[in-house]
Amino acid sequence: MESLPTTVSSKSDRRGRSSKSQNTSKPSLIMAFFSCLAWLYVAGRLWQDAQHRVALNTVLKKNLELRPKALTVDDKLMVLGCKDLERRIVETEMELAQAKSQGYLKNQKSLSSSSSSGKKKMLAVIGVYTGFGSHLKRNKFRGSWMPRDDALKKLEERGVIIRFVIGRSANRGDSLDRKIDQENLATKDFLILENHEEAQEELPKKVKFFYSAAVQNWDAEFYVKVDDNVDLDLEGLIGLLESRRGQDGAYIGCMKSGDVVTQEGSQWYEPEWWKFGDDKSYFRHATGSLVILSKNLAQYININSGLLKTYAFDDTTIGSWMIGVQATYIDDNRLCCSSTRQEKVCSMA
């Protein structure tokens, strides 16, 4: 009987402990739940950060690929060269457009059509320099070695063209120009350089205009420049040219060289004498009285006329152009017009 309260008290103790454990388990569950939420949040942020890093790396790689690479010296030189070439092409196109607008290439179509039709190439175009005050001298030539009228046409049938070469007056369309036009209308033996101003100081530039116009107007083996103080043995010159037919790169004349005149006011003064070195000596060149160029050399002058440098005299000017090309220098004593030898094709008038 005395042990009964003890049993009852033990049961009540167990109930008290179970109720206490239940009370303490609820906060633990809540803490565990919030811990899981925190872990999930942290894991989500870490995953999100990882995705951001992957996307950022992808963007950086694309930017690195798109970013221009560092240029080497060769690359920079190539870029500069391309820009310079582009500039020169634009300038050349502008010059060509201007030349066409001025009629500078007016006979280009007829030239191409004649060459494509299979006609025989002419032997030579001979340009005899003349000026506004040389009417009497021209008549003298027409009455001696230079054919006229029907004889001039028959000579052209043999493949030889002869023309007096002259530019235009500084006062375009004045009485000087009109007299030349009237004379040409009667004789039909002029090559008038419309874009060249006829003047003594412009003679070196006249060379460029003559060879360019001659190449554009006639397809020939050779192009010959002759001064108006020279008498020609025309048949002798034709024979000389026939013997050289088919020879490209031919620069033919009476070759010479000599001292550059540095004294201003002297007859042969060269204003740019300092360009000819310490020895002040001219390079080898054909004397200006009579100069013969094969077609490819005349074409070279025509194509590059806008870039070619001129000096004080036309013979040294042509010689300077020939230095830079594959020209074959042919020194023919028969073309030394001022010499006393008998076998020659020209003499001083």
Cα 337 to its chain centre, rounded Å, is 36
Q: Which two tokens stand for residue 119?
A: 């006609």
Query: 224-250 burial, b for 16+ CB within 10 Å, e for fewer?
Result: bbbbbebbbbbeebbebbeebeeeebb
Q: Which two tokens stand for residue 319?
A: 């010689």
What is the DSSP annotation of 98-136?
HHHHTTTTTTHHHHHHHHHTTPPPEEEEEEEE--TT-HH
Tens digits of residue pLDDT in 40-66: 777 777 777 777 777 777 877 777 666
* Alpha-carbon dihedral sign for residues 119, 123, 125, 128: negative
Tell me what pLDDT residue 107 has. 45
The 220-226 sheet, strands edge to edge: 190-197, 160-168, 122-129, 220-226, 285-294, 250-256, 328-331
Short-list 313, 346, 336, 330, CA closest to 251: 330
Q: Higher model confidence: residue 252 or residue 114? A: 252
Q: What is the pLDDT of residue 19?
A: 54
Most confident of 26-30, 220-224, 245-249, 326-330: 220-224
- Report the C-alpha gap between 144 and 130 in whole angstroms: 16
pTM of the model: 0.64
- Write b or e for each residue in 66-97: b if 16 or more Cβ atoms lie within 10 A of its Cβ, otherwise e: eeeeeeeeeeeeeeeeeeeeeeeeeeeeeeee
Res 295: pLDDT: 94
Residue-wise pLDDT tens digits, 238-294: 999 999 998 889 999 999 877 766 667 666 667 666 566 556 667 788 887 899 999
What is the predicted pLDDT for the residue at 23? 57
Confidence of residue 108 (pLDDT cuts 50, 70, 90): very low
More confident residue, 303 or 67: 303
Spatial CA neighbour of 341 closest among 233, 222, 227, 259: 233
User: Residue 32 has what pLDDT?
Assistant: 76
Average pLDDT over residues 201-219: 93
Task: Indicate the average pLDDT of the chain.
Answer: 79
Residue 67: pLDDT band (50, 70, 90) is low
CB 318 within 8 A of CB 227: no
In CATH, what number does 121-348 get? 3.90.550.50
CA neighbor of 346 nearest in space, from 241, 252, 232, 237: 232
Query: For 335-340, what is the mean pLDDT?
Result: 81
pLDDT band at 37 (very low <50, low <70, confident <90, very high): confident
CB-based contact 164:191 (threshold 8 Å)? yes
What percent of the chain is predicted at pLDDT more than 70?
70
The pLDDT value given to residue 38:
75
